Each structure stands twice: as C-alpha cells, then as structure tokens.
Chains A and B, each alone.
Chain A
C-alpha cells in the first residue's frame, strides 16, 4: 500500500480551464479534478475515520464525496471565498461526519474512550512508534474535534474555512482546535522533549 504523508505542504489546485470544463459537465475535466484531489480526500477520510477503518468504507466515502462534488460543482463559485480544494475537502468532511452520525460523541467530550496503542515506552522511542501514538491519539479525538484538527493541521484550512466546511462558528472552531491540541499534547506528553 502506498502511503502519503500529505502534511501541511503546498497543494496543487485544478487549473481554471479544467474547472470551467468540469463545471459544464466535461467528463475528462472532471476526471482531472478527481485525480487532483483524490489523495487529499483519502487522507482526510483516513485520518478522520482512523487507521482501524476498513479500506472499503473509506473508498465508499471517497466515492460519495466526489459524486457529491459532481452534483454540486455548478454551484461552486470560483470568485467566492473557498478554494476548490477547500470546497472539496468540506464535502468530504461532511460526508464523513454524516457517516459517523450514529456514533457521534457530544462536543463536550474531546477524547473518545478507545483503547490506547499497545506499544511499550521503549518501542515508542522511535519515529514509527510516535506515528502510531499520534494516529491513535487523533483517532480518539471526538469526531467534531478530529475534523477540525485534521482540516487545520493536515489540509491547511484556516479557521474561517473550517467554520464554513463544518457549518459552525469560527469561535467554535478555535475552541475545538485548542481543546484538540490540548488533548493531543496530553496523550503525547511522553514524546515531548
């Protein structure tokens, strides 16, 4: 399986001409859109659903995301506040949140009661162990906090963009991000210098 870091690095946007063609229903242009954003969508969904998620479920949600993009693309305003990548990721986030609706945890709960990773402190000394610990900690964030954190930390959405994506107030985003980081620091304090 090919792995992608997809951390906070500059991301390519679909060129304007292809976007215009895709909006008008051009299949080749829409394929270009999918290929431009599919890795980012998968990254968001994997981090949102966690490493324990089934690949088929992630694939289904990614497909649902792009079908949603296809349907809504004529409404996308390229002179509006959202970049196309932000807009696509917002649809992915909402799709994932909807999928998790049945087991959503209240906003006042930051961390879910999931089993922690089983690595020993010695094992955690290396980078792989830290990655596992980080993944586990992100997994245990409640969905609303996790969504805000992943969009911010891994996809470079700012507070306003996250607020639009998740349909919440900017203040709520700031609060969730602060509490998520606080919870993650607590989870990962063994790795702090």
Chain B
C-alpha cells in the first residue's frame, strides 16, 4: 500500500489531526432494533452460506433462530453422500460452526466431530484431503478415517492424527470481556485435554511434542508443557468404567450420525441403503426363498433376510396379537420368547465379540453400545471390498453354489462378513427356537405372519 510518509502535509501524523466523532452511545442498540424490524424474508432472500451438516436429532433439538438455520442445514442433509457401504458420509470441505446443542458434524470426507453445546469449530479440507480443524473452545469427539493429514488446532497446541478416535476438550476461563458479553471468544483457554480411544495422535505445542496412543491422554495447560497421562482412556488397560462409557456414548453418537446421513442419501444407494420392504410378489424371499430366487440373488451378490427383534431390550418375538391369531397359549408364547431370548443374547454376544476384535476396546465398553451402533460402526470401519466379498460368499452358499466355510476358515474372514452372517441367520435361529416349542409348521406360520418374516423387518444387501 502506498503511504504518504514523504508528504509532510498529508503524512499519517498530520492526517490524524482531522479527528471525527465516534459512534454515539446506544448506536448498536438502534441498529439491532432496526434489524429486528426487518421482515424475515429480507434476509432469507439472501443466498445462504454453505452450511455445516447436522444430524436430524440436532435439528430437532434446536429452537428459535437456530431452528431457522437448521432448516437450511437440513436442506444440505438431504444431499447426503451416497457412497459405498462403510464409507463415511462426506461433509462440507470448509465451514465454521458453533454447536447450539450436541451436534454431529461431518468434516470433509474423512472426519466426523460430535461437538457438545458451545463448542466452536472451524475446518478446511483441501483437495488432497488434508484437513485442518480449529477448536477454539468446547468439547468434541472426533473419528477420523485414514487417508491424509488431519490436524486439530486448539488454543494450547495442535493435535495431528492419521486415522483414529479421540476427543478434545478445551477448558476456558472467562475474561472480563466475555463476562460483559462484549466479546465472543474472549475467554482464555486454561487447559486442553486430548483423550485417545483408538490409534494414536501427536500433540505439539511450541517445541514440545507428545505422542499418545489408545488409552492415553494428553493434558496441555497454559502455564506448563503438555503432559502425557498413560492408560487413562480406554478399557484395554483397566481403564475406569467412566472412560469406557464415554467411549461407548461417543461411538454411539457417531454411529447414529452415519446411520442418519447414509439413510438420507439421494445418490446411488450403498449396500446398507438397500434395506427395503419387499413387494407382495417376493415377500417370502426374505424368510423362505426358493432355490431359483437364491440363484438369482447370487448373481448380484444379494443377501436378503428378515430380522427378528434384536439386542436384548425389545418386544417379545411373538406379539400378543400374533399369538392370539395363531391360537398360542400364554405358556407357549412365554416359552417361545424365553427360547428366543437365549438365541438373541448369544447373537448379541457374538456381535460384541466381533466389535472388540475389530477395535480392541474393552468388552465393558462394547457392552454399553446398542446393537445398531455396533453394526453401523463395524460397517463404517470395514472395507467396501470385504463387505462385497461377504455378500458374494454368503449369497453363493445360500444358493448352493459354494460350500459354507469351516469354523476355522470363517475365523479368517473379515469381521463384516461374520457380522452379516449373524444378522442373516438370526431369523432362522428364531424360527428354530420357536419350532422347539410349537413345532416347525406353526413356527413358520408365526414367522410369516407379518408377511415379510419376523417383525415384518426385511433387509437386503447387494452388489458384488
């Protein structure tokens, strides 16, 4: 910029002699009043900024002005990613957001942050996938897929990760300005706590670098270098139950976000997005497929199945109405339900064991997760190729085109395959449990009663 330093009468010092009045007291109040008089449409007519993604749950939780914003955000949600199974929903590559309530925010294509109320985030993901996030305050749980640099800058250091789950909490001390409400972000950061649940992170502040792995925490205070606290986060080394519960809660929130986002996609459906109710013509294909149907499905690696109530805390396998229509006694109904609950709990245990095997977390932490959260997280962490191979194998076996694997062989297969087998077999296992009480024919009739199998819940996954 050209300055007039050499021009005596027009030098900055001379020009400063021309003083003018400041804004009068109360001016901001008058502006805010004037804005309040503006019809909502005046501003709504202006092009909206690129919104951050939010979960539907977050949208529902917001009120007032934030709810108006959420409507705009919801529009972007409807353009969710339609990636392959297990792919993380893609978010906006650039954005800034202050969480009004607990919110899940997709950060580009590889990261998700579950931010608590008041958390301030700003992120920028370049074309190569390198992500830079600024968390100036608040608490957020991050899950980052591998694929490039991912940095979270806090007031007291920088967290660098590759692919991992971790949380960042920035503790603030209000300044005089923030107490007056005169300056947003004027509070002072007093400590940053990074807790690692999976993988590892590097924390840097000035010339100090700390490496933390699963189970560790890093504490960075304003008046001292960052400190490593080993073995405090994960249950893998005898962590406190509260840490396990935090992880469980965070995982469930992430899984819920992904489930919502993948369910709202408008693009090509992912394998998990193929859940649908069958038509009247092929309703039985989900619980009693013919050989021809199985062969046809195998051509496209389609695995279709019905799903009884699952996960322990659910309704009875046979509803009161269904029992009445089938002429079951209360005793038979209770016996069926008891037999099925044993099947259900065994399957749930198998699913949790798979999750522990996949993630290495403490079994207590896995036990705190809902079955849906586990299923969603396993899918998210699995390669799409493994999921496709699972569908190919299972569909071929069901059609009699390939032999089932032995127990030892199956143990070497991908966890996503073993999970799909649990899901796909549960309907048959429930029918077998019921058959042990009322016989095979009545058990099949009970299963078919809703038209599409147990609970009327039909699922199919396809694509080779």
Contact = CB atoms under 8 A, between A and B. Distances in A.
Interface of A: 1-8, 15-21, 23-32, 34-35, 38-39, 41-43, 46-47, 51, 55, 58-59, 62-63, 66-67, 70-75, 79, 127, 130-131, 134-135, 138, 152-154, 156, 158-159, 181, 184-185, 188-189, 191-193
B19 A18 contact: no
A8 B15 contact: yes
Contact of B47 (A27, A55, A75): A75
Nearest to A193: B8
B148 interface: no
The 4 closest A-B pairs by CB, nearest first: A7-B16, A20-B96, A46-B20, A38-B23
B69 A25 contact: yes
Contacts of A31: 28, 31-32
Given A17-B96, A23-B49, A35 B16 contact: no
A1 B1 CA distance: 32
Interface string B2-37: 111001111011111111111110011011101100
A21 B18 contact: no
B97 A71 contact: no
A173 to B, nearest CB: 11
Contacts of A2: 21-22
A71 B98 contact: no
Contacts of A73: 46
10 contacts: A6-B19, A19-B96, A21-B184, A38-B27, A42-B20, A47-B18, A51-B20, A58-B21, A71-B43, A158-B2
A135 B34 CA distance: 31
Contact of B19 (A5, A34, A66): A5
Given A28-B181, A63-B27, A156-B1, 9 more contacts: A17-B122, A30-B35, A32-B184, A39-B22, A71-B46, A74-B43, A131-B19, A185-B7, A189-B9
A152 B2 CA distance: 9
With most chain A CB atoms within 10 A of its CB, the pick from B94, B96, B97 is: B96
A18 B185 contact: yes
B31 A67 contact: yes
A28 B64 CA distance: 14
Contacts of A154: 15
Contacts of A75: 46-47
Interface in B164-192: 181-185
Nearest to B9: A188
Nearest to A23: B49
B120 interface: yes
A3 B20 CA distance: 5
A51 B134 CA distance: 45
B19 A181 contact: no
A41 B16 CA distance: 16
Contact of B49 (A24, A55, A71): A24
Contact of A34 (B7, B16, B32): B32
Contacts of B3: 8
Nearest to B29: A31
A71 B10 CA distance: 36
Given A2-B22, A34-B27, A41-B23, A181 B4 contact: yes
A34 B28 contact: yes
B128 interface: no
Interface string B32-67: 101100100011001111000000000000000100
With most chain A CB atoms within 10 A of its CB, the pick from B23, B30, B38, B183 is: B23
A170 B20 CA distance: 28
B440 interface: no
Given A153-B10, A156-B1, A184-B10, A17 B185 contact: yes
Contacts of B48: 74
Contact of B96 (A16, A55, A70, A153): A16
B198 to A, nearest CB: 29
Contacts of A28: 181, 184
A79 B49 CA distance: 12
Contact of A38 (B19, B28, B184): B28
